[in-house]
Amino acid sequence: MGAAGEVWLASGESGDVALKLATGDRGLSAEISALARVNHPNVPALLAADRGATWLVRAYVAGARLTSWAHGRPLEERLRVFGKLAQAVQGIHAAGVIHGDLSPANILVDSSGEPHVLDVGADTRGGALGWMAPERFRGDPASVASDVYGLGALLYALLTGRPPYERAGGAQLGYAAAASLPLPPSSHVPDLPTALEEIALACLAWSPGARPSHAADVAAAVVSARADVVRRPLVGMLEERERLRRMVVDTVRGEPGFVILHGPRGCGRAALAQEAARAARREGLRVREVPLAAARQALVLARERDALVIDAEGAPLPELLDGLAPRTDAGLVLVRASTPARALSRRGALHLRPAALDPEEMQALGEALGATATAAAEAAIRSQGRPGVFLDLIAGLIPAGPELDVLQDRLLDRLERGRARLLELAELVDLPETAVLDRLEPLMERGLVWSNAAGDELYGARAPTGAASPAR
């Protein structure tokens, strides 16, 4: 039973058929007209209908809902079915018909692995929450672009085993789709080929014009993307990532955004900025990455469809404020800095400091990288929840830095021989505990010194000779 009618299993002249009866005052004329025009092997054919559009008969399909069928199946098999599904939607569009409600409930997969698209043209005024394009919530009619969004949502579910907005529930599903973007699929499946993720997210773009133009384009892209490389996984920091995705949508809506991503090296600022920049590109914004030295000119010249990613790593506060001083028409400004710039809050700048990863997130990151449980556990302690430092430790790299002075070398030499308390280190070098902390802070930033969970014991390990690491 549904909003438009009841569907009964019935006996036809050649076997079982699906008999649909209209309910209430709503007839089935639109669905009858659509099915009469569509002729595709993956769309159950119209067999009969009455002139008053009160009932219709379709070929009967015995099968499981798409998401139920996909559970536990190999990725290659799931993608094969999706390719046929996308081609079926292309056939529907070629007949001049819009589906309007592509969701797992309307896709059945039979025992031979063939997908079948149901309810073609049944009702293009609504759709299933969690699978419906954001423009539909604004009252826009169903279109090829909204069907491509539905395909993207189905692909997302086939790749991850969950819908695009799983964290939202009930009426929040509509709000999430209308105001934000889905979490990238690789957050759920770290070894997912990057190109597959990009196809799904391109289909799920907030802007209809930013999505692929045709369902056939989606099918072809999936075929060529199966063997693509895997991007380094990004886990955790869910609230910060959600806030940035909403800022991208706000920018597309015409509401500018300005954010300072700050914190110590390796805390995940660069990864957050890169993920937001990719989302901005998918929405059709012009993304430019500029160093702080060129920021003043870039801000002055930027326009509403521009998104600037400014690298202010290590810059002192006066230099940071000077570089970001000009007023700008840029739609989105993302600044990666070591220090906050609270004075810019008066101009609407949002400050985000990435949250440290919790033990479960660190474990998931270690598993995604293929690290042993022992190595991941040690790296989790040493990195203190900073994903960039964790990645370097797993890879056998320690963030590069200046040569150690005599005092730092002495402290590190002691810690390499075993754990020590701060008071013991202070007595060793005859300095106050606060002064010892000041000397150890740069070493902790580089992952050479770390503390236990309680913070009352310190450990140390010197970087391998010649080790280097990209700045984070």
CATH T-level topology, domain 64-225: Transferase(Phosphotransferase); domain 1 (1.10.510)
Instruction: Identify the CATH number of the domain defined by range 5-59.
Output: 3.30.200
Which residues of the chain register pLDDT less than 70?
3-4, 123-126, 167-174, 227, 398-401, 453, 462-472
pLDDT of residue 167: 61
pLDDT of residue 186: 93
Domain-by-domain residue ranges, the chain? 5-59, 64-225, 238-352, 397-460
pLDDT of residue 468: 37
Give the model confidence (pLDDT) of 221-254 as tens digits: 998 887 677 888 888 999 999 999 999 999 999 9
Instruction: Identify the CATH number of the domain defined by range 397-460.
Output: 1.10.10.10
pLDDT of residue 424: 93
Its pTM stands at: 0.85
58 vs 274: CA distance, rounded Å: 49
pLDDT of residue 466: 39
205 vs 98: CA distance, rounded Å: 19
Please identify, in words, the CATH class of the domain defined by 238-352: alpha beta
How would you classify the pairing of strands 332-337 and 306-312? parallel
pLDDT of residue 169: 52
288 vs 305: CA distance, rounded Å: 11
Phi, psi at 171, each rounded to 5°: -65, -20
- Domains 5-59 and 238-352 alike in fold: no
Question: CB neighbours (10 Å) of residue 262?
Answer: 20
